Structure 1
Amino acid sequence: MEDYILFQPSVKPIHKEDEEDFWFLFKDNQLMVYEGKGNITIPRQKDVLDLNISIYNIQCMGAYSGYNCQCGEFVDHIEEENISFMDLRTLSEFVDENIYLMASKANLLLNWLKLNQHCGICGSKMYIKDSKYERAMVCSNCGNTTWPRTSPAIIVAITKEDKLLLARNRQFPNRRYSVIAGFVEYGETFEECVKREVYEEVGIKVKNIKYFGSQPWPYPNSMMIGFTAEYLDGEIKVDGEEIVDADWFTKEEVQGMYKKSISIGSQLIEWFLEKH
């Protein structure tokens, strides 16, 4: 099982408690990590016990590679030189994808817990449901129950012969471009969202929409669903609000226009570079 599914989600510990169990701990929305010999590592239970800190909002995430995974938050001051704090975007540059995805899950769970302290119906205090199989918050007054939710968004690489469509969001640094992305509306299929977002942002129509892959995106609680598509019709006309520039670029031009990372946006661009 562990060779086939490295991470097993669970609301209760799967394995016997071990000093090598993983702890994903956040302080001021930044993840605590250990730095040593050029590597970034996640604290284990033996490390956390040595720190003697008070952890709150503790949640079991499941198990990874035979060890339990817990997450939580703390406010204590730590002075050890080999301890650092990183936001998740920075973390993604130093760890493998599995560790990054687990850190993302920890962040998502903690955000869900903090955002559901009070009932959305009656305003009463919520509590974590005591269950082996179900992760939920229940209202202490009316019984309203809420579960962790994620907001789906599409991201798509659009090709036109030997060129790739890249766009620059208003919030991007100068000369930094990426592929088109946007949130899925209620009652909308992923493919419909691809068509709509592309047309709204750059004014063109696409065809041959094909699934590429997916990736949790904890900024703050999204799931990115990746696609590839081909140009069908129209001339590029940016919306001028979210997108300030867009154009077709050759393989040679794309080089250096994006930041390589483990993000699915980067993977889509690299797919184009390998294909052409």
Structure 2
Amino acid sequence: MGEYIKFEPSKEPLYGEYKKWNMYLFHKDKLLVKIDGDKFIIPNGDDIKRLKLDVYHLQCLGAYEKTDCYSGEIEEIKDDEYKFIDLRTYSKNISHDEFLVGAKALLLLDHVRNNQKCGVCGTKMIMKVSGNDRAMICTNCDNMVWPKTAPAIIVAVTKEDKILLAHNKMFPEGTYSVLAGFVEMGETFEDCVKREVFEEVGIKVHNIKYFGSQPWPFPNSMMIGFTAEYLEGEIKVDNEEIVDAKWFSKEEARKISRKSISISSDLVEWFVNR
């Protein structure tokens, strides 16, 4: 598939031997990486064999750029050559595509380890053997559970030459970003944009347009990005999630924006450069 599709999903290795596999191994939700100066390198099969690690919930992800990739869980280790880091830290010196492989690994691991017992009868569950889907199946009643993704919207609201940015109570002091929220059952993405913006800051929007999407493994979301234009109303924050919100000019937004792997950063950059 080459450059057209860099990642090929598969429950079985597609290209290489064990020693060449990229091993995305986590302790809790932190990824094991090899330290090389200021670079983080994913260990391969040879590294894992040398470290004599026991790997739990081992699953083949597929292949990234013709290198087979696996995810799994290990106990904490102490080795000066290796370190456990969260995916946000890992994302800082790699490409977006490489970050997404790490995200896939954590999402698959969560799916496997969170479905060890059937929710219907309590019996052990295993990964479904046939097909290439990732369903966990009960060994007693055949109940099947597929990986779950929670859809969420994230939206850049503009008013002429300004953008609406808000401070969530969970943010570090002085940090502002675009608005986001989870989609309710039976709700369209566009209706979710309207509801979340109105609930959080009290204004109405229109001209809602799709911007892009991003898997977000914190813990299992799919961020659906939009742009929208101000329609009417005055800012009135909900004081539950949002404690402050303001209209920012391009220059103001440029000063406070922090470039990151997140689609929120892309939305602010879109506004600043439009």
What's the TM-score, normalizing by structure 2? Answer: 0.96
Deviation at 1:3, TM superposition (A): 1.4
Q: Write out per-residue CA displacement over residues 183-238 of structure 1, whole angstroms, 9 at most, x where no aligned residue.
A: 00111111111011001101111111111110000110000000111111111111
Residue 235 of structure 1 corresponds to which residue in structure 2? 234
Cα distance in 2 for residues equivalent to 1:252 and 1:76: 45
Q: Report the AA paired with residue 228 of structure 2.
A: A
Deviation at 1:111, TM superposition (A): 0.8
Structure 1 counterpart SS, 2:92: coil
Cα distance in 2 for residues equivalent to 1:267 and 1:248: 18
Deviation at 1:18, TM superposition (A): 5.2
Q: Any conservation in 2 of the 1:12–1:132 contact (CA below 8 Å)? A: no
Cα distance in 2 for residues equivalent to 1:269 and 1:42: 31
Residue 62 of structure 1 corresponds to which residue in structure 2? 62
Cα distance in 2 for residues equivalent to 1:213 and 1:44: 32
Q: Report the AA paired with residue 230 of structure 1.
A: E
Deviation at 1:16, TM superposition (A): 3.6
Q: Report the AA paired with residue 39 of structure 1.
A: K
Mapping for residues 104-253 of structure 1, pairs under 5 Å? 104-253=103-252
Deviation at 1:76, TM superposition (A): 5.3
Cα distance in 1 for residues equivalent to 2:206 and 2:99: 33
Which shifted more, 124-133 or 229-238?
124-133
Q: List gaps (5 residues or longer) in structure 1.
A: none
Cα distance in 2 for residues equivalent to 1:260 and 1:77: 32
Q: Write out per-residue CA displacement over residues 161-192 of structure 1, whole angstroms, 9 at most, x where no aligned residue.
A: 11000000011111101000000011111111
Q: Report the AA paired with residue 123 of structure 1.
A: G
Structure 1 counterpart SS, 2:84: strand
Structure 1 counterpart SS, 2:93: coil
Cα distance in 1 for residues equivalent to 2:37 and 2:240: 45
Cα distance in 1 for residues equivalent to 2:149 and 2:238: 27
Residue 47 of structure 1 corresponds to which residue in structure 2? 47
Which shifted more, 127-136 or 243-252?
127-136
Cα distance in 2 for residues equivalent to 1:26 and 1:3: 28
Q: Report the AA paired with residue 37 of structure 2.
A: K
Structure 1 counterpart SS, 2:272: helix
Matched, 1:23 2:23: yes
Q: List gaps (5 residues or longer) in structure 2.
A: none
Residue 8 of structure 2 corresponds to which residue in structure 1? 8
Cα distance in 1 for residues equivalent to 2:96 and 2:31: 16
Which shifted more, 61-70 or 48-57?
48-57
Q: Any conservation in 2 of the 1:18–1:67 contact (CA below 8 Å)? A: no
Cα distance in 1 for residues equivalent to 2:83 and 2:225: 32
Deviation at 1:38, TM superposition (A): 2.4
Structure 2 counterpart SS, 1:256: helix
Structure 1 counterpart SS, 2:94: coil
Q: Report the AA paired with residue 224 of structure 1.
A: M
Figure out how many residues of one structure are paired with residues of the other and give that number: 274
Q: Any conservation in 2 of the 1:54–1:76 contact (CA below 8 Å)? A: no
Q: Write out per-residue CA displacement over residues 106-133 of structure 1, whole angstroms, 9 at most, x where no aligned residue.
A: 1111111111111111222211111242
Which shifted more, 242-251 or 114-123?
114-123
Structure 2 counterpart SS, 1:159: strand
Deviation at 1:137, TM superposition (A): 0.7
The RMSD of aligned alpha carbons is 1.3
Cα distance in 2 for residues equivalent to 1:60 and 1:167: 40
Q: Which runs of 4+ in 1 moved over 4 A?
A: none
Cα distance in 1 for residues equivalent to 2:133 and 2:68: 17
Cα distance in 2 for residues equivalent to 1:152 and 1:9: 21
Q: Write out per-residue CA displacement over residues 132-152 of structure 1, whole angstroms, 9 at most, x where no aligned residue.
A: 422111112211101111000
Structure 1 counterpart SS, 2:97: helix
Q: Any conservation in 2 of the 1:53–1:76 contact (CA below 8 Å)? A: no
Q: Report the AA paired with residue 6 of structure 1.
A: K
Which shifted more, 157-166 or 29-38?
29-38
